[in-house]
Every structure is written in C-alpha cells, then in structure tokens.
Chain A
C-alpha cells in the first residue's frame, strides 16, 4: 500500500509536483496518465526514494520514507524510465549483482535469479552482454531486476514504451499476473494500456491531480460514451432525419471513413432506436457498433483544460 499526502516537489522556481495526494491499495494496478512533463516521473522518483519531496509525506506499507528509506527501498521494485542497466555486463551477471545488492541471502540468490529469468523469458540471452540486446530484451532485463526480490510494491515508468505489440502483450500479462498480491503503479502514454491492465487511473497535469477514476468511469465521461457509429453511404437528408430524433443530441459524419457517429442525449441508450431506424429505411450498413467511450478524448479534454487554466492564471 502506498500513501502520498500533499506531495510537492520544486526544482528552483519550477513546481514539478504540486500538492498531490493519493492512495494505492494492495492488489490494485494504478495507472499514471498525463502529458509529458506533467510530473508523473517525478512523483515515481519520490516514492522510490530517488528524490526527496520538497514537502509532503510518503508512506509505503506503513513506513514513512523520510524515516527509514532503506526499509522502504527493500519493499519496492522499480523500473526507471528507459530501463537503465550496466551495458557491459551479461544478463545473468547483472541479475546476480542486483540480487546481492537487494540483500537476498547467498544460498537463495541462484533460485531467485533462475525463477525471474524464466518468468520474463530471458533464458536465451543469459550470457549475452546487455548492450547488445534489442530494446524489448533490455526492457525485460529491467523488469527482471525490479521483481527479482518479489517486492510488495512495484513501480514502473513507461514499462511498454517502445516495445512491439507482441512484447507489449507479454509485459502486460506479466503485470496482470503479479497484480493479485502487489501494489503496482505504472505510468503510460498509451491509453489502451490503461484499459488493458489498470484498475484505476490517475490523470496528472501541471503537477496536479485532475482525475482519479476507474477506466470505465473515465470512458463514461467521454462524449462517445454509448454513442452509436456505423459505416454506410448516407445522404444529408437521412442524416438530418437522424438528427431530428428525440433521443439524439448530435450526428457527425466522417466522409473519409464513411462513418456516421450518433451521440445520444445525456445518458440515453440509443443503440436499439438507431438500428431500428436503419432497418426501416433499408440502409445498407457495413458495420454497426456501440462505443464505450474514448479515453483519448477524455484525456485531451481534461489535460488541455488544465493548460488553458494555467494561461489564464
């Protein structure tokens, strides 16, 4: 469990994190979202003890990091941004080194390294120098380093950044597997990832917390929530007819994709009405679907609003 209370970090005049408070529970995967420079990484660096907060309090599993940093660090596994490691070392060597530094007992080190190697599939590159590895493997070495001591808390800064879709899938399923008995925080730019792995998402902009919801709740905030979209050739007359329906707030038409999106009046469920209407008009429809909501739209609304607010100040 991680508790952050009124956390602030200033670099000279610049406020990177501004009075941020949140709690991450055990068994929960918490996603940090936010534009670049929003303070996500800085917050993670403070929780892992790399940076000291200017003000505020951090408790990890009940221990205050300012009082006993070493004990807190023992409980945390951390994958820094870009997964740094010693390039001139072999994968096995590096993991043995981290295990020793983590204070794992001598006769248990071997078992710990072997288990982590098989969990993140590093068998093939065990004797290879880290600098010769591909990006995906390097990231996996970073991940292995972070979970080698089976930490209670796992913090990952953009764990899937720069990986191909297969590797992303692998890392995500690894995270989901581990999430049951750990507290996990990860930051990401990829919004589909929030849906795929996170139980809860926090949006940070300008160092402040601007939203704290489950991914489903966030989708509910979208204009596209329960909107119906279909692909077919429509003329303006039909579009206007749809627009004229009681339950419809607005209609947009993308001429490139030939996609029509129908937005319902607040909170209404209009899938049946629209499909009924299309059948009655005997319109050829290639696809018809109901949208859950678009996270990227919510993200843009929330974070851009934040920027404008800053300008107004």
Chain B
C-alpha cells in the first residue's frame, strides 16, 4: 500500500509535465460552459440551479474521459515500460489502483475548477447548494465509472486510438441503457422488472438520481461495484496481455 502514494504522485506529475493536463482542463472548462449556457439555456431559464450544467456532463465525459484513460496502460505497454513496472517489487493491484486514482483525481481537479459556476449562480439567485454538492459528487462518480472502463480497455490494446474509440463505444452503451427512448423500446416486449434491470445497469439512471439530490446507498454502491469490477478486470487483462 505504501507504494500507491509515489505512483499517484508520479502519474500526476506526468500529466502536468506534458500538455495533456492543460489541454484537457481548458477544453473541459470551455465545453462545460458552452453546453450549459448555449444548449442548456442556464441563464435564460431564470432559475437558480445548475441542472443544465450537470445534464451535459455525461455527454462531455463520453469523449473527454476516454481521452485521459486511453494512455493509462497502452502507453506503458507500447513503450515497453510495463516490463519495468511489473518487475519492481510492487503488487499489481497497487499499480492498477494508483494509476486509476491519479487519473480520477486529475479529472476531479478539472471538475473543481468549474467553481465559478457555483459562485455565479449564488450571486444571481439563491440555489440549493446541497443539491449542487450532491450533483458534483454524482458527476465525479460518473467520471470514475467511465474512467474504470477506459483503464480496462487501455490495458487490452497497445494502440491508444483503438483504446479511445472502444472506450467511447462501451461508455455510450452504458449510458444508452438508461435512455428513455431505449427503455420505451424494451417496454414493448419486456416485463417491467426486466426493463428496470436494464435501466439499473445504466450510468445515466444512477447519475440522474444522485443529481436530483437523492443520495441513495444503492446508487453509491452501484458506482463502487462497477469501478471495482472494471479495475479487477484490468488487473486480469494486464496479466494476459503483458507479454504480447
């Protein structure tokens, strides 16, 4: 466990030693603002909340999180560095967790930097700050879910472009399964229980309920279990693929 700290430190340093960090943060801040104001009509709605802002996060993450996750493992395999990592006296799970959490922390930092939104809305009106806090938590968990999928796929290929595209597709499927359009389609021939089961695999369903301010243990454990499973799969895939 003591080795996780230096791993996280090194990973975060490497984000900021390359332009990745700056490009990502700037694009994330601009896009989240553009989505909230132009498409979400945050200002014109005349309501003091950040719902339009958070509504677009799943779609923003769909493309930005895979851009962070694609390099986590495929870069190490491509450069041959994985041979160095796996021969250090460190448990494999420490690497998996360390690399994952540093990427998550990094996205968390980008999320925290959207704080001017909160300040503006508090200046304009009197929003429910508890709800905003819950929404931030939901958004952070959603990013974590996408990131776990991305890390796993990144371990499966040496090619970052393939890792990116596959991650977008898989994340999209996990979003889609909670989309009303898709659920209505399933309702045509499935009993309600099955439809609920499909809906419950979706990031969107759980994200929506958290951003509505309902901090249900079920939603939280959904994200925890999803992330845990994908990280476990990551460590298995590293074992299978490291020699290629």
Contacts and interface: CB of A to CB of B under 8 A. Distances in A.
Interface string A119-155: 0000000000100000000000000010000000000
Interface stretch (B56-64, B82-90, B197-205, B208-216): B82-90
A80 interface: yes
Nearest to B91: A70
A145 to B, nearest CB: 7
Given A70-B89, A74-B89, A84 B6 contact: no
A200 to B, nearest CB: 24
B47 interface: no
Nearest to A73: B89
A78 B87 contact: yes
Contacts of A103: 2-3, 89
Contacts of A73: 87-89
Contacts of A70: 89-91
A170 to B, nearest CB: 22
Interface stretch (A48-56, A182-190, A211-219, A231-239): A48-56
A45 to B, nearest CB: 7
B18 interface: yes
A5 interface: no
A257 interface: no
A245 interface: no
Interface stretch (B9-17, B29-37, B161-169, B175-183): B9-17
Chain B residues touching A, range: 20 to 34
B98 to A, nearest CB: 10
Contacts of B90: 70, 101
B81 interface: yes
A100 interface: yes
Contact of A84 (B3, B79, B88): B79
Contacts of A88: 14, 17-18
Contacts of B83: 45, 50, 78, 80, 84
Interface in A169-225: none
A100 B3 contact: yes
A172 to B, nearest CB: 23
B193 interface: no
A49 B80 contact: no
Chain A residues touching B, range: 20 to 34
Contacts of A85: 81, 84
A84 B81 contact: yes
A82 interface: yes
B192 to A, nearest CB: 48
B162 to A, nearest CB: 21
B6 A101 contact: yes
A74 B89 CA distance: 5
B13 A93 contact: yes
Interface in A50-90: 50-51, 70-71, 73-74, 76, 78, 80-82, 84-89
A89 B14 contact: yes
A22 interface: no
Contacts of B17: 88-89, 129
Interface string B125-167: 0000000000000000000000000000000000000000000
B64 to A, nearest CB: 21
Nearest to A94: B10
B235 to A, nearest CB: 14
B19 to A, nearest CB: 10
Contact of B86 (A49, A74, A81, A97): A49
A284 to B, nearest CB: 56
Contacts of B3: 100-101, 103
Contacts of A49: 86-87
Given A51-B243, A84-B79, A103-B3, A89 B88 contact: no
Interface of B: 2-3, 6-7, 10, 13-14, 17-18, 79-81, 83-84, 86-91, 242-243
Interface of A: 11, 45, 48-51, 70-71, 73-74, 76, 78, 80-82, 84-89, 93, 97-98, 100-103, 129, 145
